[in-house]
A and B are shown apart, each in its own frame.
Chain A
């Protein structure tokens, strides 16, 4: 295969992977934007979403769309509970305390999942038959198309919510100034809950998509994609919604390129190398504005 065709093929694969990162990154970025917390447990919610989808299809015998919706609702509930129980009591605590709690929450979800669902991987049921579509010289699978489609659809919905609804306006207000929002009569607690719910639901959808894409799910599947999605959020500019999308897509492509020309063991190092470079040279991300540090 000529190199440019291979490159194009990798671009497609990378974009598919990248839109999953983007979906997860959206949750990170929304939560960070609103309470300045790196929700370490976000990757594990993505994992739970995949499991919820798995059981919705295999046990409840739902078809794909209702299964995805059920899983999104389930994950949203977990996200809201998590914020309620673990993060809310710490809202005025030092950042480090909150960060440690988030790490604790992540471990807790992971080990609970391991205990409840079993440590070994489960094959994800194939809700739609696998097909390969030829697009000129390259191939695209129907699963990749599904990933693109769902990701774009959800992002459009999110965009509409954030920019054209009252809830979205309140969310933006809270992220700018919590106290002022409170004084304007916005129920800050509810807005934060809503943010966690939306972010978690997006992650759950990503979980199912990845489950179908790779054909398998396991309790640790959230760890690496979670961290990488976080890197994607930072790359795009944390707290900025379009930034998460750009960052996610770039990360997906970069990872595929490195794996193709290097080795697959380098896969996980790419994200962190990107992270360190971004943090050092453009700490506010690609789409971020330079902030003024207060003395």
Chain B
């Protein structure tokens, strides 16, 4: 049963990829559309990895773009200056971001709740200012001439990899320990869970994936600017909005939110202008009426969907 559903999911994912390839070849999807799909995948990685920190471990980071920035710039430096292979650059970007996550996590995690939020935001801004003052990566001028290595296929693969790894993590003993820390730190400690260790672990893993997303991002845009919009707190809050609307603690929610909130502004012209009015209103309404997010921490699943369809059908038969 379990194996079967994994197989079905695998086939669906493969089909989705083939359909995109086919539509692109047929000219139905323009390169621009495929670009948006790549961006969707990058955002999925960012949101799911932030979910590990904020949703599953109950910490509150609003500096995720800092890790993205490290991955983006480090990998770009590697491919541009050292001509390193892209895959190597992605891994290095991820590892460096992970190390930064560890370095930030260790001291910052002594803080709780809103203090932690501000500290992570501050950390993100410090990273940005350091980049702004580093001439080797273009400083304030920005980093241009990054090769376009990010293809849809690669971004898609990386997104799937991230989702699978993080899902497997949160459904293991490690993930349960993180959930315990989120739910009640004192109880978790009394049950032998080293809460600091798991906070730092979640931070490090989350940062690692944000770093890989950063590598994909810089080789997608081909140009990085050290602005708040691209690698600063505006970007962090963008990721946070997707996470919150999808639901803290729901991986499928994160995926759905990342994809929809990436596509909608691109599809609806004129929406962009009102986007930053509509999102905050949504954010406030969701927090007031449905604080667990649209999916309320639940996961969409194949069996859930088939059950829902069966239920609907049975209901239809009755009436």
Contact = CB atoms under 8 A, between A and B. Distances in A.
| Direct A–B contact present (CB less than 8 angstroms) | yes
A93 B287 contact: yes
Nearest to A280: B107
Contact of A101 (B115, B122, B125, B283): B283
Interface string B210-224: 000000000000000
**Interface secondary structure of A, over-half rule:** helix
Nearest to A271: B122
B126 interface: yes
Interface in B248-274: 248, 273-274
Interface in B276-290: 276-277, 279-281, 283-284, 287-288
Contacts of B96: none
Interface residues of B, number: 41
Interface stretch (A54-62, A103-111, A192-200): A103-111
A280 B130 CA distance: 21
Interface residues of A, number: 43
A138 interface: no
Contacts of A105: 280, 284
B129 A279 contact: no
A234 B115 CA distance: 9
> Which of B244, B273, B288 lies at the interface centre, i.e. has the most chain A CB atoms within 10 A of its CB?
B288
A5 to B, nearest CB: 28
Interface stretch (A9-17, A179-187, A241-249, A260-268): A260-268
Interface string A76-95: 00000000001001100111
Given A96-B60, A265-B133, A272-B125, A89 B186 contact: no
Interface of B: 54, 58, 60, 62, 107-108, 110-111, 113-115, 117-119, 121-123, 125-126, 129-130, 132-133, 140, 186, 237, 240, 244, 248, 273-274, 276-277, 279-281, 283-284, 287-288, 291
A283 B58 CA distance: 21
Given A100-B283, A272-B122, A265 B277 contact: no
Contacts of A106: 280
Contacts of A86: 284, 288
Nearest to A88: B288
Given A111-B277, A276-B108, A295-B186, A96 B126 contact: no
A230 interface: yes
A97 B291 contact: yes
B282 to A, nearest CB: 8
Contact of A104 (B60, B126, B133, B280): B280
